[in-house]
Amino acid sequence: MTQRIAIVTGANGGLGESMCKALAEQGRKVVGTFAPGHAAAAASWQEEMKLQGFDITMKAVDVSDFNDCKRLLEEVESSEGSVDILVNNAGITRDAPLKKMQPEQWQAVIGTNLNSMFNMSQPIFEAMCNRGWGRIVNISSLNGEKGQFGQANYSAAKAGIYGFTKAIAQEGAKKGVTVNSVSPGYIDTPMVRQVPENVLNSIVGGIPIGRLGQPEEIARAVSFLTADDAGFITGTNISVNGGQYMA
């Protein structure tokens, strides 16, 4: 069987790295993306992955720009082959209480975290349907499920992912294309570890399992949903949050 091609946006972050590794171990040819202007960091990350035995191609794309996403996808299909798996993982935060939030903070988060879902999925969705196979996994968040003080922009974007996922899951269902989402809780990444110790302790205290999640636990959900034999799972969300929020 031809090796399936997978794209992971925001690949060189804590969660993205684990997803890339999990998909590679699943036998996929993985293409990761990074934000323009971070080529040096992406190249260094790619070399580190090679040292660990993972051959992951890295490409720059502005996921908030439809035309740039279309350009990237055409480039990947030309050099690597048809895209079979898409993991929409790229995301940013621009936190502020609503009364202090500026329009540019709102637009930046909506553009990167929500508009990117359309920008990356639309150009390849029809081709997946025509081939009769595809896997799309959209990374949402615990805070898209429950909301979070100071994150009206982030929570709105992540909540919007659920509607997008369910709608296009219905469009792809009879075509062999599944579309699902994964909602991580608080995960042990460098970003979370920068939180002040007292705040971090308070967060962990609110997690019934009593610890932060590991990036590999999110990647496991992604690899499960993208498996060849996961064709009967579509339009659903997997919450991986240690019991912190039970919908």
Q: Which residues belong to the active site?
A: 154
Angstrom distances, CA of residue 122 to CA of 23, 117, 125, 199: 22, 8, 5, 39
Question: Considering only CA atoms, which of 2, 39, 14, 18 is closest in space to residue 192?
Answer: 14
59: phi then psi, degrees, rounded to nearest 5:
-140, 145
91-109 as b/e: b if 16+ CB within 10 A: bbbbeeeeeebeeebbebb
Question: Considering only CA atoms, which of 11, 6, 66 is closest in space to residue 33?
Answer: 11
Q: For residue 234, give the amino acid letter.
A: T
203 vs 194: CA distance, rounded Å: 13
- Measure the CA angle with vertex 93, ends 36 and 139; round to 5°: 80
Beta strands in the chain (DSSP E): 5-8, 29-34, 57-60, 83-88, 134-139, 177-184, 237-240
Report residue 66 as tokens.
Answer: 């439809």
Question: Considering only CA atoms, which of 142, 188, 177 is closest in space to residue 162?
Answer: 142
Question: Considering only CA atoms, which of 170, 157, 167 is closest in space to residue 115?
Answer: 157
